[in-house]
Amino acid sequence: MRRTFRSVGGTTFAYRDLGPRSGVPLILFNHWGAVLDNFDPRIVDGLASRHRVIATDYRGIGASGGTAPVTIDEMARDAIALIRALGFEKVDLLGFSLGGFVAQDIVLKAPDLVRKLILTGTGPAGAKASTRWGRCPGHS
C-alpha cells in the first residue's frame, strides 16, 4: 500500500487511505513516535473491509515533514487541519495510547467534526489517578 501526501499550512503530512469511499471515515492516531504502518495490518485490513480508514503520520514523524510537536494541543490542531484539508465534515476517531489523548483533544476543539470516538490503550483526559478513573464531565 502506498502513502499519500497532503500539504497543510506549509507542512506535508503522510497518510494512507484504505477501504470503501462511502460513509464516515475512521481516522487512526497512534502512539508517540509511531508511523502509520505501526498499526497491526490485521486490524487495519479488518476495519477497511467495511469502513474508509485513514492512518496518519504526525508532523515530523515518519514520512511527514516539519518538526515533531511537543504537545497534545499541537498534535490535535495538526490533525484537525489535515482532516479539514482532506474535505471531511464528519469523522470517527480511533486513538491508541497517546493517540487517544490527541483524539480526545480533537473532540474538545472541534466537536462538530467528530461522530464517534474510540479510545484504546489510553486514559480519559483529566483522570485523577490511573487506578481510580473519575467520571467524564457531562456523562453519568
**Residue 97 falls inside a structural domain:** yes
* Residue 3: predicted pLDDT: 85
Specify the residue for cell string 473491509: 49
Helices 72-85 + 98-109 axis angle, to 10: 70
**Residue 130 falls inside a structural domain:** no
Residue 17's domain is classified under what CATH number?
3.40.50.1820
Q: What's the predicted TM-score (pTM) here?
A: 0.85
**Residue 138 falls inside a structural domain:** no
Using alpha carbons, list the distances in angstroms from residue 85 to 78, 82, 115, 127: 10, 5, 18, 32
Query: Measuring CA to CA, which residue among 33, 28, 30, 124 is closest to residue 70?
Result: 33
**Residue 115 falls inside a structural domain:** yes
| 12 beta partners | 7
* Residue 132: predicted pLDDT: 43
Specify the residue for cell string 508511523: 35
Q: Number of structural domains, the chain?
A: 1
**Residue 127 falls inside a structural domain:** no
* Residue 139: predicted pLDDT: 42
**Residue 17 falls inside a structural domain:** yes
Query: Measuring CA to CA, which residue among 92, 104, 100 is closest to residue 32?
Result: 100
**How far apart are the C-alpha atoms of 128 and 36, rounded to whole Å?**
31
Torsion, Cα of 77, 118, 20, 45 (10° steps): 110
**Residue 112 falls inside a structural domain:** yes
Q: Are 61 and 34 in contact, with CB atoms under 8 Å apart? A: yes
Residue 92: domain span: 4-120
**How far apart are the C-alpha atoms of 86 and 24, rounded to whole Å?**
13
pLDDT in tens, 73-126: 999 999 999 999 999 999 999 999 999 999 999 999 999 999 999 999 886 655
**Residue 79 falls inside a structural domain:** yes
**How far apart are the C-alpha atoms of 135 and 138, rounded to whole Å?**
8
